Amino acid sequence: MTEQLRLMAVHAHPDDESSKGAATMAKYVAEGVDVLVVTCTGGERGSILNPKLQGDAYIEANIHEVRAREMAEARDILGVQQEWLGFVDSGLPEGDPLPPLPEGCFALQDVAEAAGPLVRQIRAFRPHVITTYDENGGYPHPDHIMTHKITMVAFDAAGDPERYPGTGEPWQPLKLYYNQGFNRPRTETLHNALLERGLDSPYGEWLKRWDEFSRKERTLTTFVPCSEFFPVRDKALLAHRTQIDPDGGWFAVPMEIQQEVWPTEEYELAKSLVETSVPESDLFAGVRERL
């Protein structure tokens, strides 16, 4: 191999990198791949989801600073680099009718303009592979959907010398993936494995809601074996103390069951400029051969 492999993961908020594809990143870091997480917003409007920290006046008053420290800890656990794009969290609008998004937030930015800082990061880091969210954001959070939009623009624009002048030398990534870790086959497999062992499953209601909302099934093209790094993933996730309840559903499935019955993280190949065939077990399939 004549060049070090590089992976960029584009996420909306601090904590997304630890809940989506974290074991994959830790695996590749251990193999010597250079991994960069790009975080679009600071998570300023995120709620305190850990009941043990709710009502903490200091955290509530300094949520941006606290979440930045959490991100730094998670980054170090995963062994990745990390950069902020500097956009402001849009929050998750709730109610009927939905309230308008706050002025100046990430989701209200012009897509072409907001893609500029990401193009700069791509041209500086020169990733061979990029991961992000699908057109639904993985779930319909406005910042996740906006992250998808700017990543799609930046993937195509970064290699074009005519676009985004002044943001560095052109660089064309070779593959783009959508994170699809929250998929029905995985959920059903874990659910059934728990019931077969006489254990309670946290996924019963999830599966009912899946049917109620007629959620479209995505095409899973890539299954990265990374069960050895599930404990690293969980440690990074726990670093986001304001967002994760250590006694909550994230950790309801015993580690040994996860590693036995579903030892991969899943992705959907959205764009490829190299020859590959699916299903894949490596985000760099086709890229290694190209290099």
* Residue 60 burial (CB count, 10 A): 14
Judged on CB neighbours under 10 Å (0-12, 13-18, 19+), 274 is middle
**Is there a binding annotation on residue 148?**
no
As a whole number of angstroms, the distance between CA 254 and CA 232 comes to 15
As a whole number of angstroms, the distance between CA 97 and CA 256 comes to 44
Contact residues for 83 (Cβ-Cβ < 8 A; gap 6+): 36, 37, 38, 39, 121
As a whole number of angstroms, the distance between CA 76 and CA 140 comes to 29
Amino acid sitting at position 268: E
* Measured CA distances, 163 to 141, 170, 262 (Å): 29, 9, 42
As a whole number of angstroms, the distance between CA 50 and CA 115 comes to 32
CA geometry: angle 49, 51, 55, nearest 5 deg: 95
**Is there a binding annotation on residue 13?**
yes
As a whole number of angstroms, the distance between CA 177 and CA 129 comes to 8
**Is there a binding annotation on residue 144?**
yes
As a whole number of angstroms, the distance between CA 73 and CA 236 comes to 7
Query: Which helix or strand (DSSP H or E) is residue 183 part of?
Result: none
Q: What is the DSSP letter of 24?
A: H
Q: Residues marked as binding? A: 13, 16, 144
Sequence ranges of the binding site for Zn(2+): 13, 16, 144
